[in-house]
């Protein structure tokens, strides 16, 4: 390869790796697999080895990937938190052993290894003075990290006081267990929030929260795997140090295998690979370390990695199998997802018989047909995925994958909106969406039923007491009291809250129905325009399109929603239960802000944003998030920024809080 071509390739690889490293380390939102990233890094290393004159200090081959978040105080590590050199074959691992063995002979050192799991989490340093936890920090760039002491204090498995009064800095990996991660994503799905990409990024994102209360709500755990600095050190063995850390009260990596030679180390790595599926936590490889601490000192380190340790990355395993069928499953938010039914095949230690096909576009992109021979791959602990179709093995008997137009669970219309990849069920009574639907229905901006939380709803569904949303109004005192020991008082309060909810205004009821793209703001517009649920449900598409703040797509969603049999049935049942279906208009309506648009900016002291918005809407006005020529007023609080500047440029009337208060008296 010519030098110019090498320069070009190295530049492109560095830019791509920087981008993906930023996504992984700093944004906790990876866009490619670890394996793909590692392969790109290996390609860069190979090019830099061939053209050493092109190596620069800012290359990711020469530094740790992470950066320091500006939201946290900086911590300079007393001992650098280095990364590890990765290898992908036992041949490379043997080369490492041969190099170490050669120096051991020269230095007259006994060579033993310790093999440990490489936990897939976020690396941190914990500092103790006189046995008391005083500070914790992320790895950051290896030299400087982020002070996340308050967040680390929320992790129960981190001891706040050790069993001995020692001065010590240890390194560990914060992670989220497999079951705990699955539960987190189930809750995200119920709340209609984005799913976490993987357990590692969920853990990293949780630790980097500026509000430690959020961190405390996440199921974080930690395993300690190294002593960084120990003033009272009395050991020369890494393995013995780890055993001592257990006595101090640390939660030490449970898989630590003492090996007398390389052969034992390789067997240990192979065994970890075989057992990895049964582990309660995710791993992305195994680490082999020299046990002798004095020999480690002689071996030394490079700027980026120690010479006495190396990480073995398990290669992704791909297998051929038959795509027997494609079924469509309905999630708790109504998204209908295709699932591949496969001829069972063992991949990376587990038997795979089904896997997600993501969406309709994925099926088209891969050109999948039922009866195809497909290649599936499972790298590490991620979900197995269909990576390709072997078209050469087609017999002509393969059939097209049919995309559903009705929900496979409830039979309601299934639609895919423009610009979206997902197909959704529009049925309000769909059993698959019941829990999520009730969560929304009872929330504060909807029917405001206090006490009907997630766990109570789940218990009511499990006992068969709620089969659709309207069943809430059929619940009895005895039904609810049966859920809790001595639950009569709770049941009485909840029944009272359910009864009170029947008086909610029309806009609350409209919002509670969960119509796609209709929130509280649009619900208020619709309630004001149509006055009754009957008028709204009978409205033409043209009429809905004319409603202010209701676009064509939203109007179509509303129109089609009210023509579903399930919607008609639901509204009739709610009406029979006594739920209000009319706008609670007060006498002498004051529409002083009718036709006026307000933009709120800066920090308000007399009102919250919601309180100010409610006042504006009460008097017939509306709020917007951006300043334009159509803006009537800008209500500016302290530290108002670019919106205030733009309003001044456009000559829009700017109000302070006192002026706004006078306008609303």
CA atoms within 13 A on the CB side of 33: 17
Rounded Cα distance, 345 and 353, in Å: 7
Phi, psi for 471 (deg, rounded to 5): -65, -15
CA nearest neighbour of 606 among 534, 545, 659: 659
**Is beta strand 221-230 parallel, antiparallel or unpaired with respect to 283-290?**
unpaired
Rounded Cα distance, 38 and 246, in Å: 33
CA nearest neighbour of 257 among 281, 214, 225: 225
Tokens of 158: 């981190």
Rounded Cα distance, 433 and 453, in Å: 16
Rounded Cα distance, 449 and 577, in Å: 15
Rounded Cα distance, 220 and 122, in Å: 11
Q: What letters, b where the CB count within 10 A reaches 16 and e where it falls short, cover 404-419?
A: eeebebbebbbbbeee
Rounded Cα distance, 513 and 443, in Å: 11
CA nearest neighbour of 134 among 78, 174, 66, 217: 78
Phi, psi for 444 (deg, rounded to 5): -60, -40
* Residue 118 annotated as catalytic: yes
**Active-site option among 23, 43, 49, 118:** 118
CA-angle at 214, arms to 211 and 216, nearest 5°: 110
Q: What is the 3-class SS of 62-114, one letter each residue?
A: CCCCCCCCCCCCEEECCCCCCCCCEECCHHHHHHHHHHHHHHHHHCCCCCCEE
**Is beta strand 335-347 parallel, antiparallel or unpaired with respect to 423-425?**
antiparallel
Please list the active-site residues: 118
């Amino acid at each position: 390869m010519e030098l110019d071509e090498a320069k070009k390739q190295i530049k492109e690889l560095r830019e791509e790796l920087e981008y993906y490293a930023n996504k992984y380390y700093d944004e906790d939102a990876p866009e490619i697999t670890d394996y793909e990233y590692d392969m790109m890094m290996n390609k860069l290393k190979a090019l830099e080895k061939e053209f050493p004159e092109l190596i620069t200090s800012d290359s990711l081959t020469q530094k740790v990937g992470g950066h320091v978040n500006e939201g946290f105080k900086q911590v300079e590590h007393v001992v650098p938190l280095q990364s590890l050199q990765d290898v992908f074959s036992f041949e490379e691992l043997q080369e490492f052993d041969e190099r170490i063995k050669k120096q051991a002979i020269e230095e007259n050192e006994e060579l033993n290894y310790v093999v440990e799991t490489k936990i897939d989490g976020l690396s941190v340093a914990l500092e103790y003075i006189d046995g008391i936890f005083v500070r914790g920090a992320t790895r950051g760039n290896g030299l400087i990290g982020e002070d996340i002491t308050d967040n680390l204090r929320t992790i129960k498995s981190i001891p706040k006081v050790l069993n001995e009064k020692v001065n010590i800095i240890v390194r560990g990996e914060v992670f989220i267990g497999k079951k705990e991660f699955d539960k987190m994503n189930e809750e995200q799905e119920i709340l209609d929030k984005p799913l976490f990409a993987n357990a590692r990024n969920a853990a990293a994102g949780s630790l980097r929260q500026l509000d430690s209360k959020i961190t405390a709500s996440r199921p974080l755990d930690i395993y300690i795997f190294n002593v960084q600095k120990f003033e009272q050190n009395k050991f020369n063995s890494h393995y013995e140090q780890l055993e001592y850390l257990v006595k101090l009260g640390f939660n030490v990596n449970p898989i630590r295998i003492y090996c007398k030679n390389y052969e034992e180390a390789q067997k240990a790595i192979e065994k970890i690979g075989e057992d990895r599926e049964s582990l309660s936590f995710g791993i992305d490889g195994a680490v082999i370390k020299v046990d002798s601490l004095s020999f480690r000192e002689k071996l030394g380190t490079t700027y980026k990695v120690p010479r006495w340790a190396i990480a073995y990355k398990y290669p992704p395993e791909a297998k051929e199998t038959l795509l027997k069928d494609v079924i469509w499953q309905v999630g708790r938010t109504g998204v209908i997802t295709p699932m591949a039914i496969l001829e069972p095949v063992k991949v990376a230690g587990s038997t795979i018989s089904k896997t997600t096909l993501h969406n309709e576009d994925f099926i088209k992109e891969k050109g999948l047909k039922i009866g195809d021979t497909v290649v599936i791959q499972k790298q590490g602990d991620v979900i197995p995925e269909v990576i390709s179709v072997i078209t050469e093995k087609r017999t002509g008997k393969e059939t097209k994958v049919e995309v559903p137009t009705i929900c496979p669970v409830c039979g309601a219309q299934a639609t895919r909106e423009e610009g979206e990849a997902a197909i959704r069920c529009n049925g309000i009574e769909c059993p698959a969406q019941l829990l999520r639907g009730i969560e929304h229905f009872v929330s504060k901006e909807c029917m405001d039923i206090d006490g009907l939380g997630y766990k109570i709803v789940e218990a009511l569904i499990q006992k068969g007491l709620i089969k659709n949303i309207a069943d809430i109004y059929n619940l009895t005192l005895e039904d609810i009291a049966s859920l809790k020991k001595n639950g009569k008082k709770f049941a009485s309060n909840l029944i009272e809250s359910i009864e009170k909810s029947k008086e909610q205004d029309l806009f609350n009821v409209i919002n509670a129905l969960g119509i796609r793209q209709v929130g509280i703001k649009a619900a208020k517009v619709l309630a004001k325009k149509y006055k009754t649920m009957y008028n709204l449900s009978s409205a033409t598409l043209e009429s809905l399109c004319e409603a202010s703040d209701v676009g064509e797509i939203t109007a179509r969603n509303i129109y089609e929603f009210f023509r579903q049999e399930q919607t008609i049935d639901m509204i009739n049942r709610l009406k029979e239960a006594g739920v209000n279906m009319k706008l609670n208009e007060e006498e002498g309506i004051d529409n002083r802000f009718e036709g006026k648009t307000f933009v709120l900016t800066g920090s308000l002291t007399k009102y919250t944003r919601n309180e100010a918005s409610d006042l504006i809407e009460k008097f017939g006005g509306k709020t917007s998030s951006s300043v334009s020529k159509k803006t009537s007023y800008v209500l500016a609080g302290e530290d108002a920024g670019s919106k205030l500047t733009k309003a001044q440029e456009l000559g829009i009337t700017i109000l302070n809080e006192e002026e706004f208060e006078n306008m609303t008296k």
